Amino acid sequence: MTKAKALIIPVTPFQQNCTLLWCEATKRAAVIDPGGDLPDIERAIAEAGVAVDKIWLTHGHVDHVAGAADLKARLKVPIEGPHRDDLFLLQHVVETARAFGLQDAANVTPDRWLDDGDQVEVGELTFDVRHCPGHSPGSVVFFSAEQRLAIVGDVLFAGSVGRTDLPGGDQRQLLKSIRDKLMPLGDDVAIISGHGPTTTIGRERATNPFLQ
């Protein structure tokens, strides 16, 4: 039975895929990567008729996290993730956002850092955490083996991979993360990326030019 439901809300001028993820059995939800445009996110929460318990962050880039502190204050929920290696990004959200002309950004202090092998829960759903450095040092991926679903941030995209020219980026490390931590999840696993359309592990294994 498919208990996980997801609604993608593109936010910020970067069209970042903020994801409202919930457990259909309990209507408890997590907001993943609230980069901005909080009214759009709050409208989606109301329309889905869910109660948000958590904010999860895949990594520390401004388009993924700039609205997290504000949303936490409004919803009174904890922020989980990313991995501690993105601390340097989370401490400089305000100045980075200013450089990109983004409004209403705030630095982020997670309530819980995540590490490889950790688990996060929402409602009756459990997601395994995989630390996948390369796009940023602290990037994490959320994977539910039961639901055959992974939320991968900017690690892997339909037909592409995350950029590695930003501070802390490393292409060799990124490709190793994808090869060792994502490809083994299984070809049937659905992927929600930080930008662009959804895909599957199998489709990327077959067609992604970076993985041939």
Give 64's Cβ-side CA count (13 Å radius): 27
Residue among 28, 101, 45, 97 at smallest CA distance from 69: 97
Answer whether 139's CB lies under 8 Å from 83's CB: yes
Binding residues for Zn ion, rule CB under 5 A, total: 4
Site for Zn ion in 58-117 (CB under 5 A): 61, 63
Other Cβ atoms less than 10 A from the Cβ of 164: the count is 16
For the CB of residue 146, give the shortest distance to Zn ion in the complex, in Å. Answer: 27
Which segment (43-51, 96-104, 114-122, 187-195) binds Zn ion by CB under 5 A?
187-195
Which segment (82-90, 100-108, 169-177, 186-194) binds Zn ion by CB under 5 A?
186-194
For the CB of residue 94, give the shortest distance to Zn ion in the complex, in Å. Answer: 17
> Which member of 130, 154, 182, 191 binds Zn ion (CB under 5 A)?
154
Verify binding: residue 168, Zn ion, rule CB under 5 A: no
Q: Quote the CA–CA distance of 34 and 60 in Å, as a whole number.
A: 11
For the CB of residue 4, give the shortest distance to Zn ion in the complex, in Å. Answer: 22
Which segment (23-31, 85-93, 175-183, 188-196) binds Zn ion by CB under 5 A?
188-196
Maximum CA extent, the chain: 45
**Alpha-carbon dihedral sign for residues 150, 26, 121, 135:** positive
Please report, as ranges, the residues that interact with Zn ion according to CB under 5 A: 61, 63, 154, 194
